[in-house]
Amino acid sequence: VVASGLPDRVLAVFGSIFMALVNSGKNNENIHPEVLEDLSEVLSKCSPCLGNITCNLQNSWKCDESDVFAMWNDFRQCLQAAKDTNVNGNIPTSAIAATLSIMAAFLRFRPVLVKRVNKKDLEMILSFVRMEVPENSKSDDEAAAVSDIQKDAIGMLGILCSEPHPSTVNEQICDAFVTLLQRAQTTTAAVMGEVINALMDMYSADEEDANNHEAVFRSKGVLNIFEKTVPILKEKIRADESKGNASYEEVEFLKEIGLNATRFIRYKKGH
């Protein structure tokens, strides 16, 4: 597959479309809505393709350290451009979701990246966790894209938290996660489930573990927040199930998170 050049061609298509969107924004050019929708769809199809390539070709494509860092920097620049109000007029939320999804795959399957994520990277990922659907948006697709962005950003933070890190960083991440749970009425069940799962992983380390941050867990009142939001998560799961808003697999996965969260509350109360 690598010898055929297919992965690099898919990457080139993704990059050329994204940069075309950025440059059109810089030049104040309007893109016809149907054309923009088609371009966004291509990006959305390239993204899982590149994610699968990253997963399945871990030792044969973009595995050299310099290549991995170069890729990460390129995608980071894409996301920085998407946040620039001077150029982002033609960059839809789905394009941001597609980009972050690829970055999440690289962080998961190219572990050399984990120790190279810097403060600016962390701040960018945190900003995507806290992202909200614009109040003037009436699009279900945009809401779904924001949800995808949040889930990928949460997953990335979960990967980063698996490595020893200072309490100040743990506090930043905890604050972002707690913010989402406190917005429980507007946060989807899928995103709530990801947050609760990540928090359980973050605060399950034994006392002698270098990655134990029990002091942050207590100071931020995470246990109390769990007690308030886990029942809300379970209500949302039942609502999604009854309305057919989630697949059987998604519902069962979220139910398992809810069950584990209830056990986690009991465990923490006993310590």
| Model confidence pLDDT, tens digit, residues 70-114 | 999 999 999 998 888 776 678 999 999 999 999 999 999 999 999
Of residues 33 and 208, more confidence is placed in: 33
- Record the pTM: 0.93
Tell me the three-class secondary structure of the chain, residue by residue: CCCCCHHHHHHHHHHHHHHHHHHHHHCCCCCCHHHHHHHHHHHHHHHHHHHHHHHHCCCCCCCCHHHHHHHHHHHHHHHHHHHCCCCHHHCCHHHHHHHHHHHHHHHHHCHHHHHHCCHHHHHHHHHHHCCCCCCCCCCHHHHHHHHHHHHHHHHHHHHHHCCCCCHHHHHHHHHHHHHHHHCCCCCCHHHHHHHHHHHHHHCCCCCCCCCCCHHHHHHCCHHHHHHHHHHHHHHHHHHHHHHCCCCHHHHHHHHHHHHHHHHHHHHHHCC
Pick from 139, 172, 147: nearest CA to 157: 172
Question: Residue 120: is its pLDDT beyond 80?
Answer: yes
From first CA to last CA, the distance across the chain in angstroms is 52
Q: What pLDDT is attached to residue 118?
A: 93
* Average pLDDT of span 164-189: 94
Give the rounded distance of the alpha carbon of 166 from its chain centre.
21
| CA–CA gap between residue 207 and residue 202 (Å, rounded) | 13
Q: What pLDDT is attached to residue 138?
A: 62
Q: What pLDDT is attached to residue 25?
A: 82
| CA–CA gap between residue 97 and residue 43 (Å, rounded) | 9
Instruction: Say if CB 106 and CB 78 are below 8 A apart.
Output: no
Question: Residue 1: is its pLDDT beyond 90?
Answer: no
The confidence band for 28, taking pLDDT boundaries of 50, 70 and 90, is confident
Q: Would you state the structure tokens that stand for residue 176, as one six-digit string? A: 């972002």
Q: How far is CA 29 from each of CA 95, 228, 243, rounded to the nearest angstrom?
A: 18, 48, 41
* Average pLDDT of span 113-131: 94
Average pLDDT, the chain: 93
| Model confidence pLDDT, tens digit, residues 211-244 | 899 999 999 999 999 999 999 999 999 999 999 9
Q: Would you state the structure tokens that stand for residue 207, as one six-digit string? A: 């006392």
Residue where the block lists tokens 């390129």: 74
